[in-house]
Every structure is written in structure tokens, then in C-alpha cells.
Structure 1
Amino acid sequence: MKTKLLSLSALVLLSSALALTVKHERGTVELAAPAKRVVALEYSFVDTLLALGVTPVGGALGTQGGDRGAPPYLRALTAKIPATGSRAQPSLESIAALRPQLIVADAFVQGEIYPQLAKLAPTAAFQSRRGSLDDLNAQTLAIGQLVGREAAAKQLLADQQGLIRKARAFAKKNAPPFVAAVVTPKSFTVHSNQSFVGSFLEALGRKNALSPKGDQTQYELSLEGLVALNPQTLVLFTAPDETPITQEWKKNPLWQKLSAVQRGRVYVFDRDNWTRGRGPMALKLMVAQAIESRLLPDTAPSAAFRDQ
């Protein structure tokens, strides 16, 4: 009997040692042990989990609600991960069927259904869609803790900082501020210095011309609004299968008067990889392309990143 009591006591202590409590946007999430079955409802969370060596049992990889599915750089890696609806329309039934031990949700996109998600499994909500680079880095560490890969998460962040330091060496000091925008067929949405890509490019050594507008880290501008800013550098994120609204704007004399256009400093990147991934793997690609494009030294863009 004494041996059994000692064993039980040891198990209780072990259980306490393995228990996890991690803060997130909606409070704290508590796990008795690191999660092995994780459903990720944002691409950045899928990216982070894969970078940590954890394959999600499900992810918001569908195209319901007008979503575009996994970004190109993630498609091959996510081909066998079951889709639990899309980011815009997660399927609670599909999520429940996967018996997750943890759900990682976007505090902005899935905020309204958070209570329903939390009934299915412990749910951590983070600001991914509306988060900055610092927010995303904090999430990498938090997710690493929740899946028992904290050391790996710290190494990812250390490697990332090393890449950013190397990239900053290419940046021209006192280069003019840039305006960065996601451009679709119907909208021109600027990304401030508190958005992910806006803060990322600042981390690489270029100055973002825009701060948040109220509590909006991203907001729409008209051509006239852009002309009023008259940036000397434009960074555009477009999709290869869409005709961006800027193609129509080019017919307007106001577009030709923009300093960035006259200087030949309009850089174009794939918005699916740059603004929808937002994880450690996406960041490696973005660092490489920021250097390859010649954005950092403020020289004319290379052919692959030139506005056509």
C-alpha cells in the first residue's frame, strides 16, 4: 500500500509539472500536457506548427466564404491535412470530428465563434490577421509552449533574428519612407507600421510612411488619397490570377504624377505568400524576396518584382 501511495503521489507531481497555462487574447488556456492533436484556423498557425515539426490534424484550408485556400508556399506541405472549412467559415462539425486537444484561432476572424470553439476543445486566440511582426513572434513562442516545442520555437525566433540582421545590411540608410498596400481588383488597402508586412519591412530597415488609422492597422485608400501621400516608394501585394485596381489607375494622369512611379520605385510581390502566410516559413521567403527585389537598397526593382 505504501508503494502504491508513493506512486500515486509521484504521478500527481508529474501531472502538475506537465500542466501548461498560456495567455492569449481571450484569457488563458490550460492543458494537462502538451497538445498533440491541434486544429489551426489561420495559415500563420499552420505555418508555425509545421515549422515546429507538428502536423496539424486539421486546418482552415478551404475556400468557403471567398477564401483562397493555402498560400502557394504552403500548398504542398498542407495537401494531406484535412480541411476544417475555411478561415471565414470554419466547420464546427469537422473540427469536432477530429477530436482536437487544442484549437488555435484568430482573435479577429473567429472572434464571434470563439465560445463555440472553446466548447469543442481548449482554444487559444491570437491576433494573426491584424497582428504585427512582434505579435506573430509572441505567438510562435506561445504555440511552441502549447505543443511542447518551446525550445524549437526559441530557436526559430533566434534564426529569424539572424536573417533579419543580415537583411538589414542591404538597407539604405535614410531611404524615403514607403507605402505598402494589398491590391485587389476592387480595393487598395494600405498596411501601416503596426500590420504584419508593414512592421516586417520596417524590421528590415525601411521606414513605413503610415501609422494606424484609429484602431485600424490596415485601411483602404483611393487614388486621390494615395496622391495626397505621394510616396517615393510603393510596395504592392497582388495576386497573379487577378487584375489589380492599379491597372485601371494607371490610365489616370494622377498615377503618373506619383513620385514612386516617376522614380521607378514600385515593387510588386505575391500577396498570397506575403500577407496571408505570416509564419516563420513565410518570413524566410519574404526576407529572400525583399533582398532579391532590391527594395532594401532603394534601387530599381529586379524584373521579377517590377510593376508591369
Structure 2
Amino acid sequence: MTSTFFSLSALALLSSSLALTVKHERGTLELSAPVKRVVALEYSFIDTLLALGVTPVGGTLGTQGGDRGAPPYLRALTGKITATGSRAQPSLEAVLALRPQLIIADAFVHSGIYPQLATLAPTAAFQSRRGSLDDLNAQTLVIGRLVGREAAAKQLLADQQSLIRKAKAFVNKKAAPFVAAVVTPNSFTVHSNQSFVGSFLEALGRKNALSPKGDQTQYELSLEGLVALNPQTLVLFTAPDELPVTREWKKNPLWQKLSAVQRGRVYVFDRDNWTRGRGPVALKLMVAQAIESRLLLDAAPPSAFREQ
């Protein structure tokens, strides 16, 4: 009886030591121990988990509802992840079938279905789509705790800071503020210094010309609105298989009056890799391309990063 008693006591102490409590956008989540089976409903969460050495059992990799699917850099890494619909339209049935111990949801995109997700498994919600670089980094630490990889998460962020410090050596400190925008065939959406990509470029040492508009960290702008800003540097995020609305804008004399156009300082990046991954893996690619494009130097971009 004595040995059994001590064994049960040891198990109770071990269970207590493994228990964790974390705060997220919808409250507080309590778990008896770090989890192994995770369903991630946003690309940044998939990116973060993979960077931590954890493969989620499921993720929103589908193309339903107009979603473009996983960013190119992430596709090669998701072969063992079961698709659970698209980010905008996750399949609750597919999620339930995977028997997750944890669901990670986007506080903005999945706000309407959060109560339903929470009935399937413990669910944590974070601001990914509308989050800044600081928000995403904080999430990396929390996700690391949830999956028992807190030390690895801290190391990821330390490595990231080291990489950013090295990139800053390329920055022209006299460079004028930039305007950054995601450009689709029908819209021109600027990203303020509180969006992920807008705050990332500021972290590298370039100054973002725009602050949030009310509570919107990113918002649409017309050509006339862009002309009113008249940025000396323009950073565009487009998709290689789309014709961005700026193709039409280039036919307008107003476009040619932009200082960024006249200076030859219009930089173009793949919007799938830059604005939709938002995780530690994506960030390494982004730092490399920010240097390669000469954006940090405020020099004319090479053809690979120049508007055609």
C-alpha cells in the first residue's frame, strides 16, 4: 500500500507540474499538460508549430471560399498535415475527426465560430491576420508553452532578433518613410506600422509612413489617396498569377507623378510569402529578400523585385 500511495502522489505532483494556464484573445485556457495533437486554423500558426519542431495533425490548407491555399514557401512543409478546409471556412467535422487536444484559431477570422470550435477541443484565439510582429512573436512564446516547446520558442525569437540586427547593418538611415500595400486585381490595401508586414519592415529599420486608421491596421486606398500621400518609397505585395490594379493605375498620369515612381523606388514582393505566412519560417525568407531587393539601402531594386 505504501509504494502505491507514493506512486499516486508522485503522479499527482507530476501532473500538477505539467499543468499550464495561458491567456489569449478570448480569455484564459487551462490545460493539464502540454499537448501533442494540434489543429491550426491559420498559416502563421502552422508556420510557428513547424518552426518549433511540431507537426500539427490538421490545418486550414484548402482553397475553398476563394482562399489561395498555403503560401509557396510553406507548401513543401505541409505534406503530413491533414487539410481541414480553408482559413475562412474550416470544416468543423474534419477538425473533430482529428481528435485534437488543442485548436489554434484567428481571433479576427474565426470570431463567429469560436464558440463552436471551443466545444470540439480547448481553443486558443490570437490576432494573426490583424496582428503586428510583436503580437506574432508573443504568440510564438505562448504556442511554445502549449506544446511543451517553450525553450525552443525562446531560442527562435533570439535567433530572429540576431537576424534582424544583422539586417539593420544594410539600412540607409536617411531613407524616407515608405508606404506598403497588398495589391490585388481589385484593391490596394495599405499596411500601417501596426500590421505584421508594416511593423516587420519598421523592425528592420525603415520608417512606415502610415499609422492605423481608427482600429484598422490595414485599409484600402485609391490612386488619388496614394497621390495625396506621395511616398518616396513604395513597397507592393502582389501575386505572380494575378494582374494587380496598379497595372491600370500606371496608365494614369497621376501614377507617374508619384515620387516613388520618379525615383525608381517601387519594390515588389510575393504577397503570398510576405503577408500570409507571418511566422518564424516566413520571416527568414523576408529578411533575406529585404536585403537582396536593396529596399533597406533605399537603392533602385534589381529586376527580380522591380515593378514590370
Matches of 2:79 and 2:238 in 1, distance apart?
24
User: Are residue 78 (structure 1) and residue 60 (structure 2) matched?
Assistant: no
User: Are residue 208 (structure 1) and residue 208 (structure 2) matched?
Assistant: yes
Which amino acid is 1:50 matched to?
Answer: L
Which amino acid is 2:86 matched to?
Answer: S
Contact 2:176 2:207 in 1 (8 A): yes
2:128 equivalent in structure 1: 128
How far residue 80 of structure 1 moved from its aligned partner, in angstroms, is 2.9
1:69 equivalent in structure 2: 69
Contact 2:194 2:217 in 1 (8 A): yes
Which amino acid is 2:5 matched to?
Answer: L
2:92 equivalent in structure 1: 92
Q: Which deviates the most, 278-287 or 3-12? A: 3-12
1:253 equivalent in structure 2: 253
SS in 1 for 2:237: strand
1:113 equivalent in structure 2: 113
Give 1:145-224 correspondences, 5 Å limit. 145-224=145-224
Matches of 1:210 and 1:232 in 2, distance apart?
13
How far residue 165 of structure 1 moved from its aligned partner, in angstroms, is 0.2
Give 1:285-300 correspondences, 5 Å limit. 285-300=285-300
SS in 1 for 2:115: helix
Matches of 1:4 and 1:56 in 2, distance apart?
37
1:4 equivalent in structure 2: 4
Unaligned runs of 5+ in 2: none
How far residue 300 of structure 1 moved from its aligned partner, in angstroms, is 0.2
Contact 2:38 2:100 in 1 (8 A): yes
SS in 2 for 1:208: coil
Give 1:15-94 correspondences, 5 Å limit. 15-94=15-94
Matches of 1:80 and 1:67 in 2, distance apart?
20
1:276 equivalent in structure 2: 276
How far residue 31 of structure 1 moved from its aligned partner, in angstroms, is 1.2
Which amino acid is 1:271 matched to?
Answer: R
Contact 2:58 2:83 in 1 (8 A): yes
Matched residues, number: 308
Matches of 2:206 and 2:6 in 1, distance apart?
61
1:302 equivalent in structure 2: 302
Which amino acid is 2:245 matched to?
Answer: I
Which amino acid is 1:199 matched to?
Answer: S
Which amino acid is 2:286 matched to?
Answer: M
Matches of 1:79 and 1:242 in 2, distance apart?
26
How far residue 201 of structure 1 moved from its aligned partner, in angstroms, is 0.1
* TM value normalised by structure 2: 0.99
Matches of 1:47 and 1:254 in 2, distance apart?
40
| Cα shift readout 1:20-58 (whole Å, capped 9, x = no counterpart) | 111110011111111100000000000000000000000
How far residue 13 of structure 1 moved from its aligned partner, in angstroms, is 0.8
Q: Which deviates the most, 69-78 or 2-11? A: 2-11
How far residue 263 of structure 1 moved from its aligned partner, in angstroms, is 0.2
Contact 2:55 2:80 in 1 (8 A): no
Matches of 2:121 and 2:153 in 1, distance apart?
23
Which amino acid is 2:45 matched to?
Answer: F
Matches of 2:225 and 2:73 in 1, distance apart?
33
Which amino acid is 2:153 matched to?
Answer: A
How far residue 3 of structure 1 moved from its aligned partner, in angstroms, is 2.1
How far residue 161 of structure 1 moved from its aligned partner, in angstroms, is 0.2
Matches of 1:79 and 1:218 in 2, distance apart?
32
Matches of 1:65 and 1:76 in 2, distance apart?
22
| Cα shift readout 1:65-97 (whole Å, capped 9, x = no counterpart) | 110110000001112311000100000000000
How far residue 174 of structure 1 moved from its aligned partner, in angstroms, is 2.3
Matches of 1:76 and 1:263 in 2, distance apart?
38
2:228 equivalent in structure 1: 228
Unaligned runs of 5+ in 1: none
Matches of 2:226 and 2:256 in 1, distance apart?
12
Matches of 2:236 and 2:262 in 1, distance apart?
16
How far residue 194 of structure 1 moved from its aligned partner, in angstroms, is 0.1
